[in-house]
Amino acid sequence: MTLQTSAAVRNEGTTVGASRPPHIAVAGVSGYAGGELARLLLRHPGMAGSAPMFLGRAGETTSGSTTTIEALHPQLAAIGGAASHAVEPFQWARLVDAGIEILFMATPHEQSREWVPEAMERGIRVIDLSGAWRLQDARNREVYKLQDANPLLAAAFQKEAVYGCPELHRDEIRTARLVANPGCYSTSIILALAPLVLAGLVDVEHGIVCDAKSGVSGAGKAPTSKTHFMYAADNLTAYSVFGHRHTGELLEQLHLNTDQVQFTPHLLPIPRGILSTIYLRLKETMAPAQISSAFAEFYKGSPLVRLHATPHLPQIQHVARTNFCDLGFALAEDGKRLIVVSCLDNLLKGAAGQAVQNMNLMCGWKEEEGLL
């Protein structure tokens, strides 16, 4: 359908069309993912020179002068056809007056949990980059320690949330009012395992081991004792063992339980990128050609997943600053022990790029629009 701005039409959850650029806003542009999101949207062909509205996070001030996206992210200077793009204080009235139809939220989990219901009640569709709405099982969601002012209302919106992995849920994303963008680690592991686990090819009772390593930007922009240079450089550390908050996404999206999968993240001394090495056992003896066929069939029509011909394996340097997830595998001579390697850029396919991919689906565009 063509793009229409009335709240009644937007509340139906129908896809917006291409008769004019959609009215887009981005809340929380000061972080790494917010900066990448701004870059992608400012040069997106579907926006046709119509820049998004950029909004700060709650409590952020401008110190008496107007803040611009270029001041926050100097690398964005001259992108988007204007000398500068203002970052406005967040105000619901301003969003409504501007006819905003899609709101990206690159905000902390607690902020997204509070603001998303308000946006949806105003007829605004939301793509949330936080973990606030990714998990349907309350037990998995406990890791975020979220507190809802209105638990019944939050529960209703939670049921409506669509997990924003286009390769798994593109049809639901097209008409969704609330898209919960996946976590970066989760994306790398889910895309590696989905073609095999969902087809029932994996001996899940034998156990799946997911060994994942991420660049420092995955921890966010705020400095911590574990992310400053003296700690991270020339180092490699495991963290959040048996307790990383992305584990629930693996369980829910792959229909596994905690006895069937073990995920351990590690901090790499590089700025960006994720490499996940996944160890599993197949139920039946298979040949490499059968594994390749399973991946090729599953990702047919998924332009942002690239498959490596065995025995070639992905590397972080091949996906850094791209919106691709690269997958490859090695099968042991016994035909049962399989290792799958997955690589992506945690700020792009693991965050901002995937969010724009979801927007493309919601707008009725090709999902790779502005991402290649």
For the question of residue 210 being annotated catalytic, the response is no
Q: Which runs of E-coded beta strand occur in 42-198?
A: 53-55, 67-68, 86-88, 102-105, 125-128, 162-163, 178-180
pLDDT of 40 > 90? The answer is yes
Q: All domains of the chain, ordered by start, with CATH? A: 7-182+351-362 (3.40.50.720), 185-346 (3.30.360.10)
Angle, helices 166-174 vs 353-362, to 10°: value is 40
* Lowest-pLDDT choice from 44-53, 242-251, 278-287, 324-333: 44-53
Measuring CA to CA, which residue among 368, 303, 371, 354 is closest to residue 104? 354
Single out the catalytic residue among 184, 325, 343, 363.
Answer: 184
d(CA 368, CA 156): 31
Question: pLDDT tens for residues 121-167?
Answer: 999 999 999 999 999 999 999 999 999 999 999 999 999 999 999 99
pLDDT on residue 12: 44
Q: Which of 355, 353, 338 is closest to 210 using CA atoms?
A: 338
pLDDT in tens, 298-346: 999 999 999 999 999 999 999 999 999 999 999 999 999 999 999 999 9
Phi then psi dihedrals of residue 68, to 5 deg? -120, 160
Query: Is pLDDT above 90 for 25?
Result: yes
Instruction: Name the helix (H) or strand (E) containing 157.
Output: helix 151-160
Q: What is the DSSP letter of 130?
A: S
- Report how far apart, in Å, the C-alpha atoms of 24 and of each of 37, 105, 108, 117, 226 are: 12, 11, 20, 17, 35
Tell me: cis bond preceding 288? Omega within 30 of 0 counts. no
Q: Kindly report, residue by residue over 344-359, the tens digit of the pLDDT.
A: 999 999 999 999 999 9
Tens-digit pLDDT profile for residues 6-23: 333 334 444 555 568 899
In three-state secondary structure terms, 274 is strand
**64 pLDDT band (50/70/90 cuts)?**
low
Does the structure show a pLDDT above 60 at 282?
yes
pTM as predicted: 0.92
Q: Which pLDDT belongs to residue 82?
A: 77
